[in-house]
Amino acid sequence: MKEKVLISIVGPTAIGKTKLAIALAQHYKTAIISADSRQFFKEMTIGTAVPSKEELQAAKHYFIQHKSIFEEYSVGDFERDTLELLAEVYETNDIIIMVGGSGLYIDAVVKGLDSFPEVSPAIRAELNITLETEGIAKLQKLLEELDFAYYQKVDINNPHRLIRALEICLGTGLPYSSFLNKKKEPRPFKTITVGIKAEREVIYDRINQRVDLMMKEGLLDEVKPLLEHQALNALQTVGYRELFRYLNGEIPLEFAISEIKKNTRRFAKRQMTWFNKKTDTIWTTPTEQIEDLIVKINQELV
């Protein structure tokens, strides 16, 4: 094969990406890179649906629980680490699999990140204080005023994304969105994107079942020792935020569980909106035979 290839598997949460990634890794005799930003942290296992021990043994995985929630690990760090790993793996393999539902992290590897000017760390510190003292609504309102274009498309319930955008707005006097989508250097590999899709009702049912299973497996016990660290960026995620609210005495447990399901469904909807924008995706379903999908992928490898 003349060209090195990255097979990127995308799709909404609970759709079966891990299972497909392992099947393809075994077929092409290669490894898997996780681009799921929630699975980077070793303290978060059940709530992030980390692959089981059997799944991890079925194929070599990279970037699964390799960091602590107490470490800062940005999308830029992930881009750098992944490109270094790809260069190493491509010395002996022509193909590697990447899998995950974090569109920003996938695009960082496939396309490259947008470049931003340096701003004073004091701005971020001040924004974090605002978040703690006045709540996320204050940051949402500020972003709406400073960069309405980005406000319309960002996940406004993600404080990390809000603070990142606001520190650029405040530090440069320019909208965060003005730095996005500039021309970047092409990657030294070809990317084949495989997307998994299903009817919305099927996805939502899978999500509801997964949340129930997580609770049975002990998600609440996993969250309890993290309560004192609930302000950390890594813990601002679905499944943890809602149970923190329960443990803080704000809402009943049953309502917290229903909120996890609802917010996960919303997250899945945003994922599909992101992935549907890609025009060159090979689409598959959870029920398609792996042999049929491999035929489609091999046609792109020629």
Detail the residues annotated as belonging to a binding site for ATP: 11-18
Question: Which residue ranges are tagged as binding site?
Answer: 11-18
- Gap between the Cα atoms of 240 and 245, Å rounded: 9
Beta strands in 112-222 (DSSP E): 190-196
In this structure, what DSSP letter does residue 41 have?
B
Pairing of strands 190-196, 5-10: parallel
Residue 198: closest CA among 279, 283, 116, 134? 283
- Gap between the Cα atoms of 195 and 65, Å rounded: 24
- Gap between the Cα atoms of 199 and 194, Å rounded: 17
| Tokens found for residue 175 | 């909208």
Q: Taking a C-beta distance cutoff of 8 angstroms, is the pair 63, 91 a contact?
A: no
**Other residues' Cβ atoms within 10 Å of the Cβ of residue 75:** 18
Give the torsion through C-alpha atoms of 240, 245, 246, 250, to 10 deg. -170
Length of the chain: 302
> Which residue type, as a one-letter code, is found at position 127?
L
Q: Using only C-alpha atoms, what is the Rg of the chain?
A: 20
- Gap between the Cα atoms of 62 and 302, Å rounded: 27
Question: Which residue ranges are tagged as binding site for substrate?
Answer: 13-18
